[in-house]
Chain A
Amino acid sequence: MFRTAFLMVVSLLIMSQASADESLLKLATTTSTANSGLMDFLLPKFTEETGIEVHLIAVGTGKALRLGREGDVDIVLVHARAAEDAFVDAGYGVGRADIMYNDFIIVGPETDPAGTAKSNTVAEVLQRIHASEKPFISRGDDSGTHKRELILWQSASKSPDGSWYREVGQGMGKTLQIANEIDGYTMTDRGTWLAYESKLDIQLLFEGDPPLFNPYGIIAVNPERHPDVNYPGAIKLIKWMTSPAAQKMIGEFKIKGQQLFVPSAGNAS
């Protein structure tokens, strides 16, 4: 009965339904790659060469991996190495490849009340913020950026708690705006920072420490778990993204004259 009613409504609503064949690929990726415009720069070229149209769904890393696990997308492009390995080990994904990395930076009020700019390592930055109890805004949304931030706190041997540590549960752009409004510190990916920088009073305070590097991996959804995913298309995209031509395009992608991503395919993974 429910099923019949559902089918009646669906048949009324069917609109230019994209055919579920091998010419359509559903890619779940993070807001950092989608919002920076990188995928709009790369994917038309892939579609031109292979005839495969890519539907891009931009969510947090946690949600992207979940969509892959449930078989709701064919392939994921995310940045959270530990979660990616767990995803592959559990048999949800196959064919993982390194694609590129970008980096995180620490931003905060120009006056830098915690004195972070004097630090040599990101661990030291976090220790100074912890000691000063100046507001730190955390994404708090289980995204790749949030996961990375928690790892950094751990390696700084400090536990972020207390009223100065504020989890907002929002995207990177919103988090930056909040940090700006309350004169707080936060950690952001460079792409979102470049897009927002001119609208904010907070400043870039710390960058360049290797623990802040942020690698992106691409993983096909395991066709043995979900036989109806577009596995051939997913493999084609992985091959293409790791090809010298696409890697070169990634290195050439710039926002306001700054390179955002460093190609890294071929590195041992």
Chain B
Amino acid sequence: MDVLLASTAEAFRLLFSGNPEIWEIVGISFRVSTMAILAAVPPALVIAFTLAYGSFPGRRFLISLFNTFLSVPAVVIGLTLFIILSRQGPMGDFKLLFTQTAMGLGQFLLCLPILVCMAHVSLQAADRAAWETARTLGANRLRAFFTVLYEIRFGLMAALLAGYGRIISEVGASMMLGGNIAHYTRNIPTAIALETSKGAFAEGIALGIVLLFLAFLLNSLLQYVQGKGSINP
């Protein structure tokens, strides 16, 4: 118990003494995860839309496939990409292993199924009339697409937060693909793993607090948005 209390007290001291290394790690986490989710949103929306509104052979199979990917372990994504990106792998010429881009790719693949599945569910629950009304009123397909997206904006927001929550806290793929290089690919989760292995529990807890605080902010944001979207007047 003493260890926990002492480590937590030291953690707060580290955080609020403006320790630049901790804040640099936080910055890398945010930058990589934000870029990854921004890159994943457009393809995810197109896929979800195709799955919900399209009718083609293999549609149900694709839906099951994306649902299955929801539970793929991050280390499996990490290992697969590691093999692909390694110099000896098919994409080795790009020299992407142990870069922020490699980490971003891993996180992109991790959040894509979450975005697709949650957007798809929102689209299924939404009234198909929105699409048809927009089309009859003369909107082209692209306009109608955005009209529908606006209708399901709360569901999409939840998908975004769930996806972000997964990748900002993910350690397995980031460790394998980024290599936990100081000042470059060391993000919050890999730094926690490193500090713990060094026996520096205070630093680990300090970073854990940052992550928890971030999760709390994300959840508060979600509640706020959902509150505004309440069906009660």
Instruction: Decide if B101 touches A15 in the complex (CB within 8 Å).
Output: yes
Residues of chain A lying within 8 A (CB to CB) of residue B184:
18, 55
Instruction: Decide if A17 touches B99 in the complex (CB within 8 Å).
Output: yes
Instruction: Decide if A9 touches B98 in the complex (CB within 8 Å).
Output: no
Residues of chain A lying within 8 A (CB to CB) of residue B91:
3, 6
Instruction: Decide if A13 touches B105 in the complex (CB within 8 Å).
Output: yes
Instruction: Decide if B197 touches A10 in the complex (CB within 8 Å).
Output: no
**Which of chain A's residues has its CB closest to B102's CB?**
A13
Q: Tell yes or no: A181 within 8 A of B by CB.
A: no
Hey, what's the 0/1 contact readout for B89-106 against A, CB within 8 Å counting as 1?
001001111111100110
Q: Tell yes or no: B172 within 8 A of A by CB.
A: no
Q: What count of chain A residues pass the 8 Å CB interface test?
A: 34
Hey, what's the 0/1 contact readout for B193-206 against A, CB within 8 Å counting as 1?
01011111100000
Instruction: Decide if B198 touches A195 in the complex (CB within 8 Å).
Output: yes
Q: A70-B87, A173-B198 are in contact. Are A57 and B105 (CB under 8 A)?
A: no
Q: Tell yes or no: B179 within 8 A of A by CB.
A: yes
Q: Tell yes or no: B168 within 8 A of A by CB.
A: no
Q: A9-B108, A57-B181, A226-B87 are in contact. Are A18 and B199 (CB under 8 A)?
A: no
Interface centre among A12, A17, A196 (most CB of B within 10 A): A12
Q: How far is the CB of B84 from chain A (nearest CB, A)?
A: 8
Q: Tell yes or no: B187 within 8 A of A by CB.
A: no
Residues of chain A lying within 8 A (CB to CB) of residue B181:
55-57
Q: A9-B39, A70-B88 are in contact. Are A15 and B104 (CB under 8 A)?
A: yes
Select which of B32, B97, B101 is within 8 A of A10 by beta carbon: B101
Q: What count of chain B residues pass the 8 Å CB interface test?
A: 34
Q: How far is the CB of B25 from chain A (nearest CB, A)?
A: 15
Select which of A26, A72, A171 is within 8 A of B86 by beta carbon: A72
Q: A15-B32, A18-B99 are in contact. Are A173 and B196 (CB under 8 A)?
A: yes
**Which of chain B's residues has its CB closest to A176's CB?**
B199
Whole-angstrom CA separation of A26 from B197 in the bound complex: 22
Instruction: Decide if B39 touches A174 in the complex (CB within 8 Å).
Output: no
Instruction: Decide if A72 touches B108 in the complex (CB within 8 Å).
Output: no
Residues of chain B lying within 8 A (CB to CB) of residue A226:
87
Instruction: Decide if A13 touches B98 in the complex (CB within 8 Å).
Output: no
Instruction: Decide if A9 touches B105 in the complex (CB within 8 Å).
Output: yes
Whole-angstrom CA separation of A248 from B11 in the bound complex: 35
Whole-angstrom CA separation of A77 from B76 in the bound complex: 28
Q: Tell yes or no: A186 within 8 A of B by CB.
A: no
Instruction: Decide if B198 touches A15 in the complex (CB within 8 Å).
Output: no
Whole-angstrom CA separation of A56 from B186 in the bound complex: 11
Which residues from 13 to 54 on chain A have a C-beta closer than 8 Å to any C-beta of chain B?
Answer: 13-18, 20, 26, 31, 35, 40
Q: A13-B108, A16-B100, A55-B98 are in contact. Are A35 and B197 (CB under 8 A)?
A: yes
Additional pairs, 13, CB under 8 Å, beyond known A35-B198, A55-B184, A199-B3: A12-B35, A12-B39, A15-B32, A18-B99, A18-B184, A20-B95, A40-B182, A56-B181, A56-B182, A70-B87, A71-B88, A199-B199, A228-B87
In the A-B complex, the 7 residue pairs with the closest CB atoms: A12-B39, A57-B179, A13-B104, A71-B87, A173-B197, A196-B199, A55-B181
Interface of B toward A, CB cutoff 8 Å: 3, 31-32, 35-36, 38-39, 86-88, 91, 94-101, 104-105, 108, 179-182, 184, 194, 196-201
Interface of A toward B, CB cutoff 8 Å: 3, 6, 9-10, 12-18, 20, 26, 31, 35, 40, 55-58, 70-73, 171-174, 192, 195-196, 199, 226, 228
Can you spell out 20 A-B residue pairs with CB atoms less than 8 angstroms apart?
Answer: A6-B91, A9-B39, A10-B105, A12-B39, A13-B35, A13-B105, A17-B99, A18-B184, A26-B98, A35-B194, A40-B182, A55-B179, A70-B88, A173-B199, A195-B198, A199-B3, A199-B201, A226-B87, A228-B87, A228-B95
